[in-house]
Amino acid sequence: MINGAHVILYSQDPDADRAFIRDVLKFQHVDAGGGWLIFKLPPSELAFHPVMDGGQSHELTLMCDDIEATLREIGQDQPITERDWGRIASVDLPGGGRLSVYQPLHPTAKDLTSS
């Protein structure tokens, strides 16, 4: 049976991005050896969206309860896009990539209880 998921983000500067996740976002982690940090993610959910613009891609979006407070806490002054379903902003990673931060305005999987 599946007991988890392993997400891989590719980076131009993985050491800088690992430091950002460790030191700024403060995710717990283990060292798999040689400085390869594996981070514990917060509770997650999985959704399927239609393919856009003829290509397939995957995204990692971090969820929060208060997007303004989250952006302030991690030192990012980014514009927030308002949608019917939520509020979203892109966060700059030190390695040159971007990560989305999202405040949902609809029920989420974290609202489910185990039976």
Res 50: pLDDT: 84
Res 104: pLDDT: 92
Q: How confident is the model at residue 113 (pLDDT cuts 50, 70, 90)?
A: low
Beta bridge partners of 88: 81, 102
Instruction: Give the residue from 102, 14, 91 showing the smallest Cα distance to 61.
Output: 102
Q: How confident is the model at residue 114 (pLDDT cuts 50, 70, 90)?
A: low
62, 101 contact by CB (below 8 A) = yes
Q: Which superfamily, per CATH, for 14-45+55-111?
A: 2,3-Dihydroxybiphenyl 1,2-Dioxygenase, domain 1 (3.10.180.10)
Q: In this model, does residue 8 exceed pLDDT 60?
A: yes
95, 17 contact by CB (below 8 A) = yes
pLDDT digits (tens, 9 = 90+) for 29-79: 999 998 889 999 988 888 888 887 777 677 889 999 999 999 999 999 999
pLDDT digits (tens, 9 = 90+) for 90-100: 999 999 989 99
Q: Which amino acid is at 55?
A: G
Domain boundaries, the chain: 14-45+55-111
